Amino acid sequence: MKFNLMILTADPSFAVKSQLAGIDRIFYDLEYINKRERQAGRNTVVSDNKVDGIPSVKKVLASADLLVRVNPIHQYSCTEIDQSIENGADILMLPMVIDSSDVRSFVNMVAGRAKTCIMIETPQAMTRIDSILEVEGIDELFFGLNDLHIGLGLKFMFETLSGGLIEYMAQKCKMKGMSFGFGGIARIGDGILPADNILGEHIRLGSSSVILSRTFKDEIVQDGEIILSREVKKVREKIAEIETWSQEQFEINRRQVVMAVKKITNS
């Protein structure tokens, strides 16, 4: 199964570099509705991108797909979705889903013109995942750990991973044959919870996508090599290594994640 690496950008020049580095999906973000209020005081980015900026990114892409995250279902969703598709979106992502009616409305508005990705990032959507998975026309799910942990009142977004909630939803997806991804990773060797451990859980659970964090956007050149290319290569090599792990190694890694998250939340 292909494992998709995604990176957020609205900059065509960086999109080109990302594609050359081997990133599979360029993530163009339109979401802004209620996001600033939900994530107040947190080190997150609220988009100020516009639909009319999509073509400048799309036209530079040859091998990478363009994923556009639209806003949650709202009064002008149909127009936003139509314009995103007309401007070149290959995949449309719907955030902040509450129930299957949100998903059904979205799928009907997309009407097969692009692939659909549904974000499960509210406690309501997690609770109602069975009915959401029954909706025809979904191509994949993505578990948004940041908003999900906020909605659940948790201290750290990876508590949803260490506490078994992501595994619970992953099993639901696997039973339905539904592709899914979750969360983000820093560069290999970086992060308060090492990216290596997180990738181990991705492979164990059967995930097929992850977002690369802002740490991958460092433009410094070392020994004539752009860091982005080098760091993406490290991720690919780590995934290839993890895919050879035994069940025992996966279980050791899972326990390491649990212990690391516990340490972080206790501090």
The CA angle 110-115-120, to the nearest 5 degrees, is: 90
How many Å apart are CA 181 and CA 211, to the nearest integer?
9
Range of the domain at 11: 4-266
Name the residue with tokens 């979401």.
31
Q: Residue 39, Cα to own-chain centre: how many angstroms?
A: 17
228 backbone dihedrals φ, ψ, rounded to 5°: -55, -50
The whole-number average pLDDT for the span 71-97 is 97
Residue 236 has pLDDT above 70, yes or no: yes
Residue 35 has a pLDDT of 61
How many Å apart are CA 84 and CA 115, to the nearest integer?
12
Q: How many domains in the chain?
A: 1
Question: Residue length, the chain?
Answer: 267
The whole-number average pLDDT for the span 136-151 is 97
Residue 42 has a pLDDT of 53
How many Å apart are CA 184 and CA 65, to the nearest integer?
18
Residue 225 has a pLDDT of 55
For residues 180 and 219, the model is more confident at 180
pLDDT tens-digit profile of 91-138?
999 999 999 999 999 999 999 999 999 999 999 999 999 999 999 999
Residue 89 has a pLDDT of 98
DSSP string for residues in 148-182? HHHHTT-SSTTHHHHTTHHHHHHHHHHHHT-EEEE
Residue 67 has pLDDT above 90, yes or no: yes
Residue 49 has pLDDT above 70, yes or no: yes
The whole-number average pLDDT for the span 21-48 is 77
15 backbone dihedrals φ, ψ, rounded to 5°: -60, -40
- Record the pTM: 0.93
Return the structure tokens found at 113.
């013109």
How many Å apart are CA 33 and CA 73, to the nearest integer?
10
> What is the distance in angstroms between the CA of the first residue and the CA of the last residue of the chain?
37
The whole-number average pLDDT for the span 69-91 is 97
The whole-number average pLDDT for the span 156-161 is 97
The whole-number average pLDDT for the span 250-260 is 98
How many Å apart are CA 17 and CA 12, to the nearest integer?
9
CATH code assigned at 214: 3.20.20.60
Residue 43 has pLDDT above 60, yes or no: no
The Cα-based distances of 115 to 92, 95, 125, 214, 241 in angstroms read 6, 15, 20, 25, 30
Residue 220 has a pLDDT of 53
Q: What is the mean pLDDT of the chain?
A: 93
